[in-house]
Amino acid sequence: MFKDLKIFIYELPSEYNENWLSNKRCSNHLFASEVAIHRALLNADDFRTFDPNEADLFFVPVYVSCNFSTVNGFPTIVHARSLLFSAIQFITKNYPFWNRSQGFDHIFVASHDYGACFHAMEDRAIDNGIPEFLMNSILLQTFGANYKHPCQDVENVLIPPYISPESIRKTLEKAPLTGNRDIMVKKGVHPKNVSGKFYSKRVRTEIWRRYKGDRRFYLQRHRFTGYQSEITRSVFCLCPLGWAPWSPRLVESVALGCVPVIIADGIRLPFSSAVKWSEISLTVAEREVGKLGQILEHVAATNLSTIQKNLWDPAVRRALLFNDHMQRGDATWQILTSLYKKLNRSYRRSRAPSQ
């Protein structure tokens, strides 16, 4: 499909990427697609070029999500803008390719709550906006909305959050997709989800309030090591918004065969040409959370088997998972498919003589 696509990967000083891997979480947490994509492209011999003069696109591998807070353990991205700007200064000083196109053919990963707006809170993210120095480039980002939003007002490819394919494989070895599913509805509900005034627009708080005593709903206050095994036992998995509309539970649910119930108004979902979301998931409006029980009972009594048949297609799971060595149809493959459609941004091709 895209055999003539050529991508040059900048070799940056290790302070921009490799040094961060000293913390093992860097390559395994929900924002780790920035690491996974870099690794997959390094191993993609058919598409990687070592000659920047024959490249269509340029990948800038900067890991901005691996600075974990000593207070709460979450990734902190306050340094993201300065680290990325520094990387651009480096490639500008050492290569001619950024200046000739002003970054038009350069690719960055922004796997954070609101993409390259680099903040978990939407109002702050909007105020910050996307840095001016990234506005011409292509962003691979997890944030997507089906309406105009300042944090996606840039050329972008929507990607899934990172879930370890190894963890999925190990879980499915113990509990196959088509095994017994004795939990009707599953959702982990962290304490902050219960008491938080702003988090999840109170959707998770409402789920807990309405359904904590409902025997159909298996709600937990804390996530534990074997929680993926419970996903394989569940029929429906709730995927409400968090700070941003997307959640890693969406990918875990699909990969482990639990019908995702998406509760995030206006969310745009990744790889819609490869994953027919309307055929494998349910969407419930945030205002309809109070009717969840009725909605899910109705689906269970009508078209659940059809949804599960579509969901359990191995190609669906493959499309949402990143592998160190790219596989046909996996998440990196889907990204390259999208990038191939953007070859009009290739400076080299725009200067090639017409045939």
The mean pLDDT value for 258-280 works out to 97
Write out the two tokens for 172: 């499915």
**DSSP H or E run through 141:** strand 138-141
Please state, in angstroms and rounded to a whole number, the distance separating the CA atoms of residues 64 and 99.
23
Is 192 a residue whose pLDDT tops 60? no
What CATH code is carried by the domain that includes residue 213?
A: 3.40.50
How far lies 198's CA from each of 114, 205, 231, in Å? Answer: 16, 10, 27
User: What does the pLDDT read at residue 189?
Assistant: 61
User: What does the pLDDT read at residue 299?
Assistant: 96
Please state, in angstroms and rounded to a whole number, the distance separating the CA atoms of residues 338 and 333.
9
Pair (124, 96) in one structural domain: yes
Pair (314, 186) in one structural domain: yes
Check: CB of residue 289 under 8 Å from CB of residue 283: no
Check: CB of residue 267 under 8 Å from CB of residue 146: yes
Please state, in angstroms and rounded to a whole number, the distance separating the CA atoms of residues 243 and 122.
7
Beta-carbon contacts of 263 under 8 Å, excluding residues fewer than 6 positions away, are: 203, 238, 239, 240, 241, 283, 284, 285, 286, 289
DSSP string, 74-98: -B--TTHHHHHHHHHHHHHHH-SHH
Pair (60, 133) in one structural domain: yes
Pair (40, 85) in one structural domain: yes
User: What does the pLDDT read at residue 206?
Assistant: 87
In a domain, 309, yes or no: yes
- Nearest residue to 32 (alpha-carbon basis) of 21, 47, 43: 21
Instruction: Give the distance from CA 113 to its chain's centroid.
Output: 9
**217-253 residue pLDDT tens:** 988 766 667 789 999 999 999 999 988 999 999 999 9
In a domain, 341, yes or no: yes
DSSP state of 315: H
The mean pLDDT value for 304-332 works out to 97
In a domain, 355, yes or no: no
Pair (153, 231) in one structural domain: no
The mean pLDDT value for 320-328 works out to 96
Write out the two tokens for 194: 């219960």
Pair (226, 258) in one structural domain: yes
Q: Provide the domain limits for residue 49.
A: 7-162+323-350
Please state, in angstroms and rounded to a whole number, the distance separating the CA atoms of residues 301 and 74.
40
In a domain, 2, yes or no: no
Pair (199, 310) in one structural domain: yes
Pair (157, 177) in one structural domain: no
Confidence of residue 191 (pLDDT cuts 50, 70, 90): very low
Domain total in the chain: 2
In a domain, 172, yes or no: yes
Pair (157, 11) in one structural domain: yes
Pair (178, 313) in one structural domain: yes
**60-113 residue pLDDT tens:** 999 999 988 766 677 888 999 999 999 999 999 999 999 999 999 999 999 999
Pair (169, 313) in one structural domain: yes
In a domain, 95, yes or no: yes
Pair (158, 121) in one structural domain: yes
Is 36 a residue whose pLDDT tops 60? yes
Check: CB of residue 319 under 8 Å from CB of residue 274: yes
Please state, in angstroms and rounded to a whole number, the distance separating the CA atoms of residues 107 and 104.
9
**195-220 residue pLDDT tens:** 455 677 888 888 988 888 888 998 87
Dihedral sign for Cα atoms in the order 104, 46, 60, 167: positive
